[in-house]
Amino acid sequence: MYGYVRLWALFLMALLLLSGCGDSSAQAESAPGEQRAIQNKGSDTLVNLALAWAEAYRNVDSSVSIAVTGGGSGTGIAALINGTVDIANASRQMKDNELEAAKANGIEAREFTVAIDALAIVVNLENPVSELTIPQIADIYTGRITNWKEVGGNDAPIILLSRETNSGTHVYFLEEVVRKGDSSNTDIFAPQTLLMPSSVGITSEVRRNPNAIGYDGLGYVDLAHEKTVAVAIDADSPFVLPTVASGADGSYPISRGLYMYTAGQPSGAVGVYLNWILGPEGQRIVAELGFVPLPEK
């Protein structure tokens, strides 16, 4: 009998403990000042900027924890479609099939342009070529032009560098430069193109190889170790170097938007964070990192 009473008492104590845990959990969920987390993933072009935003925002609202990871625009967009991130970073716009896949999962993707990027064509500091037209760049990357002497350089083979295929920068460069913005154009990168996993990889190879050519977001260009090439739309147009100013006024011909995507209209901590990014403080950081701030409204 004593054993039965003891077991029953232990059972009641367990129930009380479980009940208490449940109450404290509910209180923690509604407690003011709780830690709120934002998952932010995607574009490697945007990752340094996104990290800088996240770090600065800690001084604005320390209760918000922002986890930033790269992996490429395609990775971030896939995570948004799957519902595993709050914000997807992309250096290209979502494609129709991606928007449809999101809708099929009950997600209405919302697009926010958060900065502008001048996509620079970079070569080795010893390369004498300083100007290229977009048709020339397209011919270089498709393999129609294979020697630097064909565009006024040394008699040497051109070594092609590109971002990997999951990169939004790769997709943008293919569509807007290699295919010259023509949706009916089916040109592709020459098979000898070396696919680099990061902007750092392109910079390192251009620095090492005097015959290499690559492309990179202006915020990642290291002018101490690589040279930017002035670009013209065609032979009858002016050649323009990629700068914050030429990206902002649209005179540099390879400029693009950088985007953040959310699942539906952002609210709560995500909405407040995006408004801060689009505001004066967030855009000041854009300029500090070498990207182009959005025009003032």
Q: Is the pLDDT of residue 6 over 80?
A: no
Rounded Cα gap, residues 264 and 10, in angstroms: 49
Beta-carbon contacts of 236 under 8 Å, excluding residues fewer than 6 positions away, are none
Query: Do 95 and 123 reside in the same domain of the chain?
Result: no
Q: Calculate the alpha carbon distances from 211 to 155, 159, 178 in Å.
A: 10, 6, 19
Q: Specify the number of domains making up the chain.
A: 2
Query: Do 93 and 149 reside in the same domain of the chain?
Result: no
Query: Do 219 and 168 reside in the same domain of the chain?
Result: yes
Per the domain annotation, does 263 fall within a domain?
Answer: yes
Per the domain annotation, does 144 fall within a domain?
Answer: yes
Share of the chain above pLDDT 90, in %: 83
Q: Is the pLDDT of residue 187 over 60?
A: yes
Query: Do 244 and 130 reside in the same domain of the chain?
Result: yes
Query: Do 277 and 149 reside in the same domain of the chain?
Result: no
Query: Do 124 and 233 reside in the same domain of the chain?
Result: yes
| CA neighbor of 108 nearest in space, from 262, 236, 282 | 262
Per the domain annotation, does 9 fall within a domain?
Answer: no
Query: Do 188 and 143 reside in the same domain of the chain?
Result: yes
Per the domain annotation, does 165 fall within a domain?
Answer: yes
Whether the pTM exceeds 0.85: the reply is: no
Query: Do 83 and 192 reside in the same domain of the chain?
Result: no
Per the domain annotation, does 58 fall within a domain?
Answer: yes
In this structure, the strands spanning 87-90 and 255-263 are antiparallel
Query: Do 92 and 138 reside in the same domain of the chain?
Result: no
Query: Do 40 and 83 reside in the same domain of the chain?
Result: yes
Average pLDDT over residues 116-133: 97
Per the domain annotation, does 294 fall within a domain?
Answer: no
Query: Do 110 and 192 reside in the same domain of the chain?
Result: no
Query: Do 217 and 282 reside in the same domain of the chain?
Result: no
pLDDT in tens, 216-248: 999 899 999 999 999 999 999 999 999 999 998
pLDDT in tens, 71-85: 999 999 999 999 999
Average pLDDT over residues 171-187: 96
Res 36: pLDDT: 86
Q: Is the pLDDT of residue 195 over 60?
A: yes
Res 232: pLDDT: 98
Beta-carbon contacts of 179 under 8 Å, excluding residues fewer than 6 positions away, are 138, 185, 186, 187
- Residue ranges making up the domain that contains 93: 36-116+258-288
CATH code, domain carrying 211: 3.40.190.10
Per the domain annotation, does 30 fall within a domain?
Answer: no
Per the domain annotation, does 11 fall within a domain?
Answer: no
